[in-house]
Structure 1
Amino acid sequence: MKESKQRPGDPVGSALDIVGDKWSLMIIWNMIMHGKHTYNELLKSNEGIATNILASRLAKLEAAGLLTKETHPDSKAKILYRLTHKGIDLLPALVELMLWAHAYLPIHSAGDAYTKLLKQNKEAFVKRIVEDLKNK
């Protein structure tokens, strides 16, 4: 996989080189919030990602150190994807994107209710999820 070119002094651009597409962020979100850790689980997510896009994004995220892959304990034919600490640390940014979308974009009513709950105590939510993920 071709490495992303670095943009010294441009943190937003550098971050977007790695996670600046819908699919990379959706993969990370599905891993964090929905516990999806195999190729097939991610493929069957509601967003409808194509197989070639999923494969390339997983490889890109692994190359960037946001996730690792290992043999699944139940089947040597399956691969288990796990977020690294670096990948888990994207949760606060994803939460902020979610809150921004809630404020400015039309969203599904289920997401609306979830976001309203999140607004009540964002810091506690993020801390709990991050601690749970890092202790696995």
Structure 2
Amino acid sequence: MDQLKRSPCPVACTLDLIGDRWTLLVIRDMMFFKKQRFEEFLESPEGISTNILANRLKLLEELDLVEKQPYSNHARRMNYQLTEKGRSLRPVLKVIGLWGLKHIADTQILKVDLADGDKIGDRY
């Protein structure tokens, strides 16, 4: 996906790609909550709509942050997984989460699947 850049600033360029209201939340769900299927993303507490979710998943695939694979005989049923490039956003999400915990009242770490042996501190 080749877009015109507003400036050569890396912060501006990164925000142009993933700085909207929903993209990092979809990545968060894949990274920390192990969500893979469209229906699972819809269960998140933020309440993303189906058309926005479909758009974000397509964008993330175009940006090579996510890859999809069919999980049944039905051609439209897909599992979405982070690519290595997508997984490289982990430190960014951790810092954002820690900043929110420190500076925004009434925030908390949501319950995450720790089956892979991560500690909560490793998650955020």
Q: RMSD across aligned C-alpha pairs, in angstroms? A: 2.3
Give deviations 1:61-108, integer Å, cap 9, x for gaps. 111110011111x44341111110110000100000011111110134
Map of 2:54 onto structure 1:
55
SS in 1 for 2:102: helix
Q: State the partner residue of 1:111.
A: 109
CA distance in 1, matches of 2:110, 2:102: 10
Alignment partners' CA distance in 1, 2:18 and 2:96: 13
Unaligned runs of 5+ in 1: 119-124, 127-136
Partner-residue secondary structure (3-state), 2:93 = helix
Q: Aligned runs of 1:1-136 on 2, under 5 Å?
A: 3-7=2-6, 9-72=8-71, 74-76=72-74, 77-108=76-107, 110-111=108-109, 118=121, 125=122
Match of 1:121 in 2: none
Measure the CA separation in 2 of the matches of 1:41 and 1:27. 10
The separation in 2 between residues aligned to 1:51 and 1:81, in whole angstroms, is 15
3-state SS of paired residue (2:105): coil
Identity %: 34
Q: Structure 2, unaligned stretches of length 5 or more? A: 113-119
Question: Following superposition, which runs of at least 4 residues in structure 1 exceed 6 angstroms of deviation?
Answer: none
Matched residue type, 2:44: S
User: CA distance change for structure 1 residues 78 and 25 in 2, over 3 Å: closer, same or farther?
Assistant: same
- Give yes or no for contact 1:4–1:17 (8 Å, CA) kept in 2: no
How many residue pairs get aligned? The number is 115
TM-score by length of 1: 0.74
SS of corresponding position for 2:22: helix
Following the alignment from structure 2 to structure 1, what is the Cα–Cα distance between the partners of residues 37 and 111? 28
Query: In the superposition, relative to structure 1, how do residues 113 and 66 fare at CA in structure 2: closer, same or farther (>3 Å)?
Result: closer
SS in 2 for 1:48: coil
TM-score (norm 2): 0.81
Letter in 1 for 2:40: E
